[in-house]
Structure 1
């Protein structure tokens, strides 16, 4: 729908446009030969921008802290492979995102509390108004290990990472929803992995126990206590072990599916 009105005194023309394809209302005002667009968008989809990673969440090298200078305290010392100790002081207020700089490349850590980033790590110095947990998953999605250099001890050059262009939503609420979704998914995967490992350990412990009772374990570790050969017992043992192995494979298949 297009409507227009004119006035000789002010010499302006107002046009209101309401496209049917989207709920966007635009108003164009022409006054004294000056063009001034005014936009009012309703029910729009939040935009995504593409920027360099260094502009979104830059990295910085951690701080030196020899092991002999650590004093017991409540603050974690985050190294390249995770929390390597606890200290009485912190250098960065949480939450924070830390990755390995030297040694372990590509491992990311999200720290809720205040912490001390070690000099073997890189930490996000500023989130620039973005959601910290979303920044964590953003870094996790780019594959930092491919930026490692060095044949002996791999090292991550932050300048190479900063030049990488990434797409991210400008709306912080959308960032928060994405970060929460992937965090819940990660927790669910971890829970199923723990259940799978627990089941496999129980089944294999039972297999070891059955083998020990039947003489397999005893003969393996204490040959002098090997029991005399009994054909029927040997047959029963093989049947039990086959069933237990089949059960083990079935449980692993269910856990992997």
Structure 2
């Protein structure tokens, strides 16, 4: 994003207007999380700075999605919160204004160096004021939507490949156990066709 032109280096075709500089207070409503221990068990997910924690019977937001951002502890890992949800008191939830696309807002949060806004000498902490005063560059709603959809698709692709990776890691671990002889044995449980000789026991040296 060039400062003078206020436009990104790469852009979808058809969009030419400069992006508008706005404070986060103009694009989201930052709300505070609360303690959940007085609630009963239920279907509503409870989130903290590290993600999902438990489920309860009430929600802080029943029908409005938001971006979760840490108040204390992990303050630089914003993530999407799909309604209904509850957040603990160490996690703010930022609800986009009516003219803002949720996925675009999430990307805007990801583009901020939140650690530089840490207001504590001990456990990292973030205030509503620090979030509200942060400056973002914002395009038209149509361009927000295109950008939000693009990065959402990328996230889905990353998740898909992450699942494949996780499965391959488990598969490799299983094959290492089955394709090498167990203690006290001289042949593995699974073997390539054509190999029948016992394995030789030798010192690594």
TM-score by length of structure 1 reads 0.61
Deviation, 1:172, is: 1.0
Unaligned runs of 5+ in 2: 1-13, 187-196
Counterpart in the other structure of 1:209: 178
Structure 1 pair 227–82 and aligned structure 2 pair: CA distance change class (3 A): closer
Distance change (3 Å), C-alpha of 1:70 and 1:180:
same
2:59 aligned to which of 70, 90, 95: 90
Question: Whole-Å Cα distance in 2 between the matches of residues 163 and 87 of structure 1?
Answer: 33
- In the TM superposition, residue 65 of structure 1 has moved relative to its aligned partner by 2.4
> 1:126: how far off?
4.6
Number of the residue aligned with 1:7: none
Q: C-alpha deviations, 1:47-100, integer Å up to 9, x for none? A: 31011222222423222323xx23122222222222212121112232121112
Deviations 1:180-234 (A, max 9, x none): 10010011012112212212321232112222xx24xx2xxxxxxx458xx9622
2:158 aligned to 176, 180, 189, which one?
A: 189
Please tell me whether the aligned partners of residues 53 and 161 of structure 1 are also in contact (alpha carbons under 8 angstroms).
Answer: yes
What is the aligned partner in structure 2 of residue 46 from structure 1?
A: 17
Q: Aligned in 2, Cα 1:112/1:235: closer, same or farther, shift over 3 Å?
A: same
Q: CA deviation at 1:158?
A: 2.7
Residues 21-32 of structure 1: pairs in structure 2 closer than 5 A: none
Q: What is the aligned counterpart of 2:199 among 209, 233, 246?
A: 233
Bigger radius of gyration among the two: 1
Contact 1:105 1:154 in 2 (8 A): yes
CA distance in 1, matches of 2:118, 2:166: 32
Change (3 A) 1:232 1:71: closer
Aligned residue for 2:73? 103
Kept after mapping to 2: 8 A contact 1:127/1:135 = no
When you count strand as a share of all residues, which structure comes out higher? 1
1:119 aligned residue: 89
Q: Which has the higher helix share?
A: 1
Residue 145 (structure 2) pairs with residue 176 (structure 1): yes
Q: Which blocks of at least 5 consecutive residues in structure 1 are unaligned?
A: 1-42, 219-225, 239-257
* Relative contact order higher in (CA < 8 Å, ≥ 6 apart): 2
Instruction: Detail structure 1 runs of 4+ shifted over 6 Å in the superposition.
Output: none
CA distance in structure 2 between the partners assigned to 1:62 and 1:187 by the alignment: 27
* SS in structure 1 at match of 2:200: helix
Number of aligned residues:
179
